[in-house]
Amino acid sequence: MPKRIDLDGGDSHDELEEALRQLQRPKRTEARPREEVQEAVREIAEQQKAEAKARKERVARPPWLIWALIGSVVLIAVVLAVILLRPEPLPPPAATAQEAVSGFWRSLIDGKYEAATVYYPSMVDKYGSRKQAAEKLREHFGDNPPVRISKVGEPEQVPDSTDTRVSYEVYLRSGSPRGGDAIVSSEGGGYVIVAGI
């Protein structure tokens, strides 16, 4: 019979048996890591559901909607371009000699140089086109434009002529007045300035 060795006088035998029992017992895995894994799996499933829902919402939009939005933006851009680039209509002919003089100066005050040429058409004849005449007016009055009409006088008949004379006075941006007598003629149902500006 093998000889038994007692190390501590018998107590160690109980300890050894207890240790052997613990080794033979099936090891229990801790519940905590398993719960963490299950929680992670739940989070991944929720993320996948949210992504699927977002994809459905994106797909729920009809494909023509994007083209309709692009078309709307293009249409608005075209309308704005037409409105902004459309030339401003020219004013109607002056009904009186005073209206021709005041219309000319009012157009210059507003910076509408082409409109001013309606009241002074001999400039168009002299420079070849309305744009050229307007450019000449812009060069002449661009640095010191008129800002206010002080007076437009009563028309007076020019001796030995069908033309009338209308005196005027305007104030320029520099503050200095500019005055003179415009010679106005009746032409084609309206009055136009022929000289004196």
State the CATH number of the domain containing residue 111.
3.10.450.100
Residues 107 and 145 in one domain: yes
Residues 62 and 38 in one domain: yes
Does residue 12 or residue 188 have the better pLDDT? Answer: 188
Residues 51 and 110 in one domain: no
pLDDT tens, position by position, 57-80: 666 667 777 888 888 999 998 888
Q: Is 151 helix (H, G, I), strand (E, B) or coil?
A: strand
User: Dihedral of the CA atoms 118, 91, 140, 171 (nearest 10)?
Assistant: 120
Distance between CA 100 and CA 97 in Å, rounded?
Answer: 5
> Parallel, antiparallel, or unpaired for β 146-152 and 156-157?
unpaired
The residue among 53, 84, 115 that closes a domain is 84
Distance between CA 163 and CA 156 in Å, rounded?
Answer: 9
Q: Is 60 helix (H, G, I), strand (E, B) or coil?
A: helix
Task: Name 105's Cβ contacts closer than 8 Å, sequence gap at least 6.
Answer: 146, 149, 152, 168, 170
Residues 102 and 162 in one domain: yes
pLDDT value, residue 162? 85
Q: What angle do CA 124, 97, 181 make, to 5 degrees?
A: 80
Instruction: Provide the 8-state DSSP code for 132.
Output: H
Distance between CA 128 and CA 117 in Å, rounded?
Answer: 12
- Give all strands (DSSP E) within the chain, no chain letters: 146-152, 156-157, 164-172, 177-187, 190-195
Query: Is 70 exceeded by the pLDDT of residue 10?
Result: no
User: pLDDT over 70 for what percent of the chain?
Assistant: 86
Question: Which two three-digit tokens encode residue 69?
Answer: 């939005």
- Whether 154 is covered by a domain: the verdict is yes
